[in-house]
Amino acid sequence: MHEKKSTVLIVEDDAQIRKMLTIVLDAADYKAVDSDCGKQGIRMAASIKPDLILLDLGLPDIDGKEVIASVREWSQTPIVILSVRSNDDEIVAALNLGADDYITKPFSTEVLLARLNANLRKAAVREAGEPELVNGPLRMDIVRHEIYLDGEKVAFTPKEYELLRYFIVNRGKMLTHKQILKEVWGGVYVENTQYLRVFIGQIREKLEKIPALESIIVTAPGIGYRMEVLE
């Protein structure tokens, strides 16, 4: 199965540019989602939790700078501005509000993709301290969204990947069903422990092929799960 790398949220009111960006991102293996206004963009940033936001400043409802300020109240997701505004004041204001990068229109797609990659890599390093997470023979490349078991790449679905990533980031800690469901699936799923059980089963099945990982995810009945810390 071919899996997309990172999810990019496009907030842009120009339908043609939106379409063009979607095609470019798709060809580069990103998953693109989009919004044509600022308020919906903010809502989508919260619900979808994209890996990066590509943001226009001139939007029909609110200014893109308001989107930056709002998202920065609760999220460090990289924000790359894509705007026709090329005066220094606008660029400085956007960066001061917490934007990570600024590209002026018209832009070359090569430059755009290079900037996206650079910002995703920076974010991954910032979050994890390094672009990969390792626990014994389990290694996650969090920039490429790939998982290696004992050096061999193994395919995980996007949800399995997110779940495993949450475990490895919090390895050694007991995580309750609710915490995991909230973090990986979102608030409305906190009661779906059956859902979680199915996914844990799928992950275990893949991990079990490596003897050292056989019981790396420990069940605490009625409470949750914990990933053991391996040497």
Binding-site ranges for Ca ion (CB under 5 A)? 13, 56, 58
Give the helix/strand (H/E) hosting 175.
strand 174-176
Q: How far is the CB of 120 from Ca ion (least distance, A)?
A: 24
SS3 of residue 156 by DSSP? coil
Specify the residue, 13 or 228, whose C-beta has the smaller distance to Ca ion: 13
Q: How far is the CB of 90 from Ca ion (least distance, A)?
A: 13
Q: How far is the CB of 68 from Ca ion (least distance, A)?
A: 15
Tell me if 79 sits within 8 A of 100, measured CB to CB.
yes
CA distance 38 to 174: 38
Name the residue with the smallest CB distance to Ca ion. 58
Specify the residue, 34 or 56, whose C-beta has the smaller distance to Ca ion: 56
Q: How far is the CB of 80 from Ca ion (least distance, A)?
A: 15
Tell me if 191 sits within 8 A of 176, measured CB to CB.
no
Specify the residue, 33 or 128, whose C-beta has the smaller distance to Ca ion: 33
Overall size of the chain counted in residues: 231
Specify the residue, 51 or 56, whose C-beta has the smaller distance to Ca ion: 56
CA distance 88 to 161: 40
